[in-house]
Amino acid sequence: MLDGGESFTTPDGRTIGGVLMEMKHITLRFGGVTAISDISFDIREGEIRAIIGPNGAGKSSMLNVISGFYKPQEGEVFFRGEKRGPVKPYQVAREGIARTFQNIALFEGMTVLDNVMTGRITHMRTGLWRQALWWGPAQAEEVENRAQVERIIDFLEIQAIRKTPVGRLPYGLKKRVELARALAAEPKLLLLDEPMAGMNVEEKEDMSRFILDVNDEFGTTIALIEHDMGVVMDLSDRVVVMDYGKKIGDGTPDEVRANQDVIDAYLGVAHD
Ligand SMILES: Nc1ncnc2c1ncn2[C@@H]1O[C@H](COP(=O)(O)OP(=O)(O)OP(=O)(O)O)[C@@H](O)[C@H]1O
């Protein structure tokens, strides 16, 4: 277990470990706009952690800080006990963080299988020259990559469409392919950007089940952002609530539901 507090057991019997990621006093500004104002919270190993809030609350900005895409003007980010320095997003990917996007970012002309394969890039170690020659280590690596990709395709129940170009798929399935690609990287921490946005009820139920199964089967820690509060309450172990760039709540779904500031924010009660 990593440093940073006691582990705890969830109501459904899963063990949540120590702190995997810690955000300390994060402030992020865009010119005169303060998108995130002095927010601290942690993400523990094995948990499903949601960041919710009304439109413009600062959730996407926070996800981009976690993924290393935005560098906050103030505050510190710790991942696996180490303070993050100035990193490029690909270095964050190598650290074991993968993400999906709110607006699907797949290669529409490529098959499902090839799209999921692109998620293995961070695991490709042999140089292009050896790969071109299909020689020795490159061959072994390719076999290993294919096996992992097939495992994920089976797990997310997309075998039947593995040779279909992504552009031909309905929205809900595209989202599932995006999840598959992120999982192909075997992330320690998986970031989901509004995974249920634009989905119908049935697709939302499917996606919820897959998120829970991924967490359970692979032990992947999951952080997701969402503005629809109802969607994440059944799914998450703990929830951070943001409003106007500030943290107004943090706790279990029950604690957050009972928090008056959270109720006010969602009902649109005016701020002082
Ligand atoms: N690149 C940017 N440049 C300038 N301002 C930005 C930028 N990104 C976000 N903002 C501003 O920061 C604030 C927080 O935006 P953010 O997109 O993080 O919120 P959000 O909670 O994700 O909203 P939504 O649910 O609508 O996606 C908003 O006032 C927004 O206009």
Pick the CATH number of 1-96+187-272 from 3.40.50.150, 3.40.50.300, 3.40.190.10, 1.20.1250.20: 3.40.50.300
Q: Give the number of residues written for the chain.
A: 272
The pLDDT, as a whole number, for residue 131 is 56
Instruction: Measure the CA–CA gap between 15 and 6, rounded to whole angstroms.
Output: 11
Does the CB atom of residue 64 touch ligand 1 within 6 A?
A: no
Element (H, E) at 265: helix 260-267
Which residue, judged by its Cα, is nearest atom 12 of ligand 1? 35
Would you give the DSSP letter of residue 27?
A: E
Alpha carbons 6 and 35: distance in angstroms, whole number: 31
- Give the ipTM of the model, two decimals please: 0.96
Which atom, in ligand 1's list, is nearest to the CA of 36? Answer: 14
Q: pLDDT 10s per residue in the chain (272 long)?
A: 334 567 878 888 888 899 999 999 999 999 999 999 999 999 999 999 999 999 899 999 999 999 999 999 999 999 999 999 888 877 888 889 999 888 778 899 999 999 999 988 766 655 555 555 555 556 677 788 888 899 999 999 999 999 999 999 998 899 999 999 999 999 999 999 999 988 888 999 999 999 999 999 999 999 999 877 788 888 999 999 999 999 999 999 999 999 999 999 887 666 55
How far, in Å, are 34, 103, 194 from residue 151 at the CA level?
A: 43, 25, 25
Token output for 68: 């290393």
- Distance CA(238)–CA(233), nearest Å, equals 9
For residue 32, the SS3 value is coil
How far does residue 107's CA lie from ligand 1's centre (Å)?
Answer: 26
35 ligand 1 Cβ < 6 A: yes
| pLDDT reported for residue 92 | 82
What integer pLDDT is reported at residue 2 of this predicted model?
A: 39
* 85 CA → ligand 1 middle, Å: 24
With a 6 Å cutoff on the Cβ, whether 194 touches ligand 1 is no
Query: Does the Cβ of 59 fall within 6 Å of ligand 1?
Result: yes
SS3 141: helix
CB distance 195 to ligand 1 below 6 Å: no
**Domain residues of the chain, as ranges?**
1-96+187-272, 112-182
How does DSSP assign 214-258, residue by residue? HHHHH--EEEEEES-HHHHHTT-SEEEEEETTEEEEEE-HHHHHT
pLDDT of res. 1: 37
The packing angle between helices 201-218 and 137-155, to 10°, is 130
Task: Give the pLDDT confidence score for residue 3 in this predicted structure.
Answer: 45
